[in-house]
Structure 1
Amino acid sequence: MDRRELANFLRSRRERITPAEVGLPAGPRRRTPGLRREEVAQLAFISTEYYTRLEQARAPHPSYEVLAQLARALRMSDAERDHLHHLAGAPPLPSAGPSREVRQSILDLLHRLPQAAATVTSATFEVLAWNDLAAALMEDFSALPRRDRNLVRRAFLGPHTHGQRLYGVSDADAFARTSTQRLRAAAARYPDDAEVAELVAELLDGSEEFTRLWESHDVSAEPTLCKTFQHPVVGPVTVNCDVLDITDRDQQVVIYTADPGSPSEEALRLLSVIGTQRMDTTH
């Protein structure tokens, strides 16, 4: 553990972040650039005394949990987080399972696409992040427990809202095949991850269709370039489907856009106004 370099690194990361970037008021009489030590401690859920000792090169070896909390509080990049671990004498552990942490730049991107519905999904099809239009088009994911945000689980096991499979998408059967193939590949990449194994076991136990597709051992999947959602309020919405791979996180950004001037573009524009409020009463 290089206490002096660790202290200097933490101080430099703290001083570059403005209070506004982490949702804190600037307030009067702020004499220090960036955040105060007590603000970093609050964001990282550690004591101000301990954080102060870290910056004074007097603290004992920080745990992996503390390092993770500091990296998140100081909005560190992947490279900065790894450097933090090495300075602390605790090299970053290899990931046993799919990453669920979405980079801040990707989160910012989602909200800069007001005319597109966009989500971030993990290697196992868990919806990790979304923008407002995606919630309006598909579902208010913030209202769901984490396990119910998994699209492959929803495709095979439901619930099927309004009697429609997976939000009434036109390619539901193709998605079932594709998701099975990609899930098999993910299971091979993460053989020691308990959540992946539990998901596969649950699907094998609960869906004959998944079992049949799983036992085919296919691992290649054709991309879907266009699909139609059957929305309960605005009706059919046909969108182009573009997927951007985030290779270092094994995640995908899925972006849905409608053709300019089409009825579906008008439907998306209406959904952006309606949001996730429930205008239909037949539930």
Structure 2
Amino acid sequence: MADPRRVEFGDFLRSRREKLTPKTVGLPAGTRRRTAGLRREEVAQLAGIGVDWYIRLEQGRTVSPSVTTVDALARALRLSKTEHAHLKALARDGDRRAFTREIVPPPIQRLVESLPHPAYITGRRWDVLAWNEAAEQVFAFGRLPEGDRNTMLLMMTNKQTRKAYGAGWAEVAKRMVAMFRATHDVWAGDPAFAELLTRLRQGSPEFVKWWEAHEIRSTASGLKTMSHPTLGVLHFEHTSFQANDDPALKLVIYTPV
């Protein structure tokens, strides 16, 4: 049975290959192409590896590319720094233990509750694990069933969240999908992530479209504007931090602008 992480590795290679043109990488256009993007043999040539070896990688076979091979593929496919790091992560033989929901240590819980601005803690799967009163006023996490307290579910399947972002929803949601994709692929095949992915696919046609594009983005600070039913229009600058106690825990703070 194929390793899910290797399958994602191959799918990511294919998605990047199909976005390139011969002109982009300095190759002649050649004869008419039946499909978009570079041919597999062209990528293999650019990376300096065998065509059969590259095909095995793109098909998600259980093979382990070296660091040198991954770096060569990144150069051949013109990957960004974030995409290159993602390819490296998928190439590594990672921890195969099943995902378990994280527990927020009491000191971190108290820290979050003491903050004056909206703040919450998420885990690896982007579940919301703890939050303060200011975050409750804006996001109403406490009114949701525990299984729905997940930032991807809220963004992609919650009607109130979509309404709050208005015309800016698609831009924010698409960016979040690309960031979550980087997290998911490392945990590909895990039952907890598979269950979340099924809910997202069933609940949002936009998610399905953006997911298939296999875009990858790193987590970054930024600005968000939301329309709250009682608080009115809210402008926030959001940023996140990892906890030393457990790097899987991420503190997200929304500072009013």
Alpha carbons 1:167, 1:230 under 8 Å: kept: yes
Alpha carbons 1:229, 1:236 under 8 Å: kept: yes
Alpha carbons 1:116, 1:133 under 8 Å: kept: yes
Of structures 1 and 2, the larger Rg is shown by 1
Please report how far the alpha carbon of residue 242 of structure 1 lies from its aligned counterpart in structure 2 after TM superposition: 1.6
Classify 1:132/1:116 alpha carbon distance in 2 versus 1 (closer, same or farther; 3 Å): same
d(CA) in 2 for partners of 1:99 and 1:245?
16
CA RMSD of aligned residues (A): 2.5
d(CA) in 2 for partners of 1:190 and 1:166?
31
**What residue is the counterpart of 1:216 in the other structure?**
213
Classify 1:132/1:146 alpha carbon distance in 2 versus 1 (closer, same or farther; 3 Å): same
Q: Partner amino acid for 1:145?
A: P
Corresponding residue SS for 2:213 = coil
d(CA) in 1 for partners of 2:252 and 2:166?
15
d(CA) in 2 for partners of 1:112 and 1:167?
26
Deviations for 1:53-94, whole angstroms, at most 9, x for unmatched residues? xxxxxxxxxxxxxxxxxxxxxxxxxxxxxxxxxxxxxxxx97
Please report how far the alpha carbon of residue 99 of structure 1 lies from its aligned counterpart in structure 2 after TM superposition: 4.2
Classify 1:172/1:98 alpha carbon distance in 2 versus 1 (closer, same or farther; 3 Å): farther
1:187 paired to 2:184: yes
**What residue is the counterpart of 2:127 in the other structure?**
126
TM-score, normalised to structure 1, is 0.51
Number of equivalences? 162
Alpha carbons 1:167, 1:231 under 8 Å: kept: yes
**Stretches of 4+ aligned residues off by more than 4 angstroms:** none
Alpha carbons 1:98, 1:190 under 8 Å: kept: no
Alpha carbons 1:122, 1:128 under 8 Å: kept: yes
Alpha carbons 1:165, 1:172 under 8 Å: kept: yes
d(CA) in 2 for partners of 1:166 and 1:199?
22
d(CA) in 2 for partners of 1:100 and 1:175?
26
Q: Partner amino acid for 1:244?
A: F
Structure 1 unaligned blocks of 5 or more: 1-92, 260-283
d(CA) in 1 for partners of 2:167 and 2:235?
9
Q: Partner amino acid for 2:156?
A: F
Please report how far the alpha carbon of residue 96 of structure 1 lies from its aligned counterpart in structure 2 after TM superposition: 1.9
Structure 2 unaligned blocks of 5 or more: 1-94
**What residue is the counterpart of 1:243 in the other structure?**
240
Classify 1:167/1:148 alpha carbon distance in 2 versus 1 (closer, same or farther; 3 Å): farther
Please report how far the alpha carbon of residue 137 of structure 1 lies from its aligned counterpart in structure 2 after TM superposition: 1.4
Classify 1:242/1:123 alpha carbon distance in 2 versus 1 (closer, same or farther; 3 Å): same
Classify 1:108/1:169 alpha carbon distance in 2 versus 1 (closer, same or farther; 3 Å): farther
Alpha carbons 1:169, 1:228 under 8 Å: kept: no
Q: Partner amino acid for 1:243?
A: S
Q: Partner amino acid for 2:146?
A: R
TM-score, normalised to structure 2, is 0.56
Please report how far the alpha carbon of residue 144 of structure 1 lies from its aligned counterpart in structure 2 after TM superposition: 1.7
Alpha carbons 2:155, 2:162 under 8 Å: kept: yes
How many percent of aligned residue pairs carry the same amino acid?
A: 28
**What residue is the counterpart of 2:75 in the other structure?**
none
> Which residue among 174, 177, 189 is the counterpart of 1:177?
174
**What residue is the counterpart of 1:138 in the other structure?**
139
Q: Partner amino acid for 2:209?
A: R
Classify 1:150/1:222 alpha carbon distance in 2 versus 1 (closer, same or farther; 3 Å): closer
Classify 1:174/1:122 alpha carbon distance in 2 versus 1 (closer, same or farther; 3 Å): farther
d(CA) in 2 for partners of 1:105 and 1:175?
31
d(CA) in 1 for partners of 2:180 and 2:156?
13
1:108 paired to 2:106: no
Alpha carbons 1:168, 1:231 under 8 Å: kept: no
Alpha carbons 2:221, 2:240 under 8 Å: kept: no
d(CA) in 1 for partners of 2:190 and 2:112?
28
